[in-house]
Structure 1
């Protein structure tokens, strides 16, 4: 179990560091008429992570991630290599799309509608961003492989998915819970964080995808030649 959790941690952190959901929830929290939408967004975010990861763990279990000797199948190593290459490709796209010096960062169009969301629509947005985001999906696929090849019991798999979900949700959960506890004290830090993420989200995502992409590609390549 410890080895599986250890391998899941960087993947969960990859979801944590995803800037756009954090920007979205901060915008909700700082807008009085949609403040309640922040909690709804968090609920959808957690549900999306848990559901997508669970489905991929079940798929990994059905396929079978280990050979009869207990070693990972060669096909698993190829999948990891492919995931790594895909992440590196996305990293290159993030780098080339970053704004030039002094230029304003371009955010997705949906961020402009965040301040008018109802709780129901906020929950739906949180679910969509967590479950259908390509960057996150790559993390979930990699997490499914890690859990699937870990030879865990059903209970162990549930614990692994729960730990992954709790850590992965922290990027959104921490601002929301901090705001609930002491709204006035965290307002200025949240505003500063939002501004910084808006300007630097492309660089943050680039570094994240680069590091995890190299790790996954290295594991996959090592499994293939080993």
Structure 2
């Protein structure tokens, strides 16, 4: 297997944490998004969408989505389970992972890519050059606030997002909550359950990668 990573981007960090939580050592090649290496001829042969992460499997498939990478690694290396231990938990992991992607990750990206000067002409990842829309940046910031409130409500009921075990859903929510610093958004101090959860994830060795 070969893992194509970018040390500064949130999406590859999710896969990096998943790999670390599995205790795996996979050959890794760093692709610098800042230097535009995702648009190089060699990388486009691997992923024509010019996005990261990518896991090239032993069978030769290029998996370009975190959910696909997680599904493959979980199937090959089931311990420790990160996608759920029984049908009900698997459903909850999938649900909270998707919520964290759509309500958290997309919101942060919306705010960041539509406002930051470095993202001018790059409002969406991938090969298309798209202009920023300031109104979407403001909408993204409001959505991030709503996501933090959603996390707090859930984590007041459960130690981890999908139940009583750490899972892929926690990785996704943690990475995007941490990345919200790029739009100067932080977990509100009053959100004690979320602050405690964030602290627990942060102490895990995978979170330092």
TM over 0.5: no
Structure scoring higher RCO (CA < 8 A, sep ≥ 6) equals 1
Structure ranking higher in strand proportion: 2
Structure ranking higher in helix proportion: 1
